[in-house]
Amino acid sequence: MEEDSKIYLIDENGKSKEYKVLLTFTAKENNNFYVVYTDGSLDEDGYVITYAGIYDKKNDKKVLLPVETDAEWELIDHLLTKLDEEGKNEN
């Protein structure tokens, strides 16, 4: 994926919002293509808030489906933690 990739999602009010793509990957376990992204906002502890979805490649429309299972969230969390640790080791 290109550096500084962005996606644009429509919110519940019909407005387009820009997000920075942090990570994309295909899970071997289920062959789903995941997108992890952020709008750059921070939580109350100062950590960047991230979101994740499943990109539906089979649909003619570009659709981002919700991550629904605990196993999928654990996979995403594991990858983000691993990337964070690798980033800290590089410094």
Which of the four pLDDT bands, split at 50, 70 and 90, describes residue 83?
confident
Which of the four pLDDT bands, split at 50, 70 and 90, describes residue 87?
confident
pLDDT score of 1: 45
* Number of helices and strands in the chain (H, E): 1, 5
pLDDT score of 59: 65
Give 22-63 pLDDT, tens digit per residue: 999 999 988 899 999 999 999 999 989 999 999 987 767 778
First-last CA distance in the chain: 23
What lies within 8 Å, CB to CB, of 31 at 6+ separation is none
Residue 52 is encoded by which pair of tokens?
């994740």
In angstroms, rounded to a whole number, what is the distance separating the alpha carbons of residues 88 and 8? 29
